[in-house]
């Protein structure tokens, strides 16, 4: 058992850490949609300079991409804690040199394999504080979700909702369940959709129907290039409970080989339970052009989907949002079309792609390539007051030691619980981490560490955790 003074110090450190982590994104965007609306109204009322030409980089700093405008950073955090906040645009002399001395040895850890790249920037100024091959394209694993989510928010806006619709032919006796690409559709919402459908049929005096389903919104291969895998279901425009064959809601699980057909079967069964007689099931087909909507259900707002995707590293939602982006960009809703659309949206955010390549939205593909500098640029852009629509990229990042894929990391030997928010990435031989941390001087830093050819996942993850933890220490 901890001694009382030790316990108090530990609890106090965790509490301060959580305040810092929460405060760093307080202005970056709250969690509920009502507050987001208030934030956007506030942002629209301000005099803005972000997104314009910020001038050449400082003569003593390395060449940089165009920097985002000042962001929600530690001044707000320190003010909340009663401290004195430094001017956001002024960086202490020698900060980059001191940071390099701390990070260099940690980045040389053999646990990080043969190839490792890194970048750390000050979010408020866009200044690079540390870099090691930051523009080198690397396999990003799930940190690519930062790019996917930023592109989706940019293309569609945080209030966008994805529909699943029941349409009916002229006599309303032939129904089609039309998938809109909502990977968060579950049995509960299918039940509500069945209730609305049965009520609409009853209002028309119809007791028996044929039913089929339409998944034509998507094109190209259904299977992810990695093939059947517990980490992702076939990518189709209609599914329920992510095609999971158990009671799990996140992480790996056995998946259905036909999630669309299974969802349609569940829906038909729910209608039967409500007294609707199903005379035939017609399987997959395109809904008739003259079909009229009978009932509809919507996903949560895109902002919430983004947060869920990043916190839990949800591959199914990531792929669905990549395809939503493709549709918004008039690209085919396929792996290839989604990859082009994500790249197009990043360019529209005025961020340099370099040699980035997006072959999926989830990061399960080893063909993806992203530089550390692009990840930090995306994080900084998400904090830009000119882009409040991107805030969920920050608010969705897991909190070290407390939530999502970081819940079990940052133990007693890596004292940064509650201080670091970051997206993880893990494939065999690939370990990555990208996110934000408030440093001891009160600055919000964005970082990206990417390692390839790592010998084992656990030591590599610990090495990455130590790197990010070092950013918050004096």
Please give the positions annotated as active site. 142, 145, 313
Residue found under tokens 């509650």:
418
Residues in CB range of 185: below 8 A, 6 or more apart: 164, 238, 239, 240, 241, 263, 297, 299
Could you tell me the strand order of the sheet in which 163-168 lies?
A: 277-284, 208-214, 174-178, 163-168, 292-298
Q: Are 179 and 164 in contact (CB under 8 A)?
A: yes
Residue found under tokens 């669905």:
320
- Look up residue 397 and give its two tokens: 């990042």
Q: Are 107 and 467 in contact (CB under 8 A)?
A: yes
Q: How far apart are CA 333 and CA 119, in angstroms?
A: 33
Q: How far apart are CA 338 and CA 230, in angstroms?
A: 22
Q: Are 211 and 267 in contact (CB under 8 A)?
A: yes
Q: How far apart are CA 141 and CA 298, in angstroms?
A: 30
Q: Which residues pair with 369 in a beta bridge?
A: 357
- Chain length of the chain: 474
Q: How far apart are CA 388 and CA 295, in angstroms?
A: 33
Q: How far apart are CA 327 and CA 337, in angstroms?
A: 9
Smallest CA-to-CA distance from 272 within 208, 205, 201, 188 is with 208
Residue 305 vs residues 76, 147, 148, 310, 382: alpha-carbon distances, Å: 27, 14, 12, 9, 16
Burial 36-70 (b: 16+ CB within 10 A, else e): beebbeebeeeeeebbeeeeebeeeeeebbebbbb
- Look up residue 260 and give its two tokens: 């669309």
Rounded to the nearest 10 degrees, what angle do helices 335-348 and 144-156 cross at?
70
Q: Are 28 and 383 in contact (CB under 8 A)?
A: yes
Residues in CB range of 121: below 8 A, 6 or more apart: 127, 128, 129, 376, 380, 445, 446, 447
Please provide residue 234's backbone torsions phi and psi, each rounded to the nearest 5 degrees: -55, 140
Residue found under tokens 């002399």:
93
């Amino acid at each position: 058992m901890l001694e009382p003074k030790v316990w108090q110090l530990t609890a106090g450190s965790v509490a301060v850490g959580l305040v810092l982590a929460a405060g760093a994104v307080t202005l970056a965007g709250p969690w509920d949609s009502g507050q987001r609306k208030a934030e956007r109204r506030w942002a629209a009322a301000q005099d803005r300079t972000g997104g314009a030409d910020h001038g050449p980089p400082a003569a003593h700093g390395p060449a940089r991409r165009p920097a985002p405008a000042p962001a929600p950073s530690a001044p707000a955090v320190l003010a909340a804690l009663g401290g004195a906040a430094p001017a956001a645009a002024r960086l202490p002399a020698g900060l980059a040199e001191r940071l390099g001395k701390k990070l260099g040895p940690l980045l040389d850890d053999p646990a990080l394999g043969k190839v490792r790249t890194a970048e750390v920037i000050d979010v408020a100024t866009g200044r690079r504080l540390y870099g090691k091959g930051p523009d080198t394209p690397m396999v990003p694993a799930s940190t690519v979700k930062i790019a996917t989510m930023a592109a989706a928010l940019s293309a569609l806006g945080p209030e966008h909702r994805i529909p699943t619709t029941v349409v009916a032919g002229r006599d309303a006796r032939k129904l089609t369940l039309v998938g809109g690409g909502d990977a968060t559709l579950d049995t509960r919402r299918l039940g509500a959709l069945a209730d609305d459908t049965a009520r609409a049929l009853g209002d028309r005096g119809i007791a028996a129907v044929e039913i089929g389903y339409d998944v034509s919104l998507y094109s190209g291969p259904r299977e992810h290039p990695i093939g059947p895998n517990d980490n992702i279901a076939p990518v189709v425009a209609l599914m329920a409970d992510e095609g999971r064959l158990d009671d799990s809601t996140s992480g790996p699980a056995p998946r259905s080989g036909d999630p669309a057909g299974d969802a349609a079967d569940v829906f038909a069964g729910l209608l039967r339970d409500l007294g609707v007689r199903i005379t035939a099931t017609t399987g997959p087909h395109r809904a008739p052009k003259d079909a009229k909507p009978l009932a509809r259900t919507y996903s949560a707002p895109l902002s919430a989907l983004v947060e869920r995707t990043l916190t839990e590293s949800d591959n199914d939602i990531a792929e669905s949002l990549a395809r939503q982006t493709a549709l918004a960009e008039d690209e085919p809703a396929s792996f290839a079309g989604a990859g082009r659309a994500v790249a197009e949206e990043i360019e529209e955010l005025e961020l340099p792609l370099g040699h980035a390549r997006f072959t999926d939205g989830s990061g399960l593909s080893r063909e993806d390539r992203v530089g550390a500098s692009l990840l930090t640029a995306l994080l900084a852009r998400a904090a830009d007051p000119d882009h409040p629509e991107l805030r969920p990229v920050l608010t969705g990042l897991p909190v070290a030691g407390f939530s999502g894929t970081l819940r079990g990391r940052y133990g007693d030997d890596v004292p940064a619980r509650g201080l670091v928010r970051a997206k993880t990435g893990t494939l065999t031989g690939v370990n990555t981490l990208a996110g934000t941390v408030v440093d001891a001087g009160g600055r919000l830093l964005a970082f990206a560490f990417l390692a390839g050819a790592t010998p084992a996942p656990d030591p590599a993850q610990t090495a990455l955790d130590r790197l990010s933890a070092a950013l918050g220490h004096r």
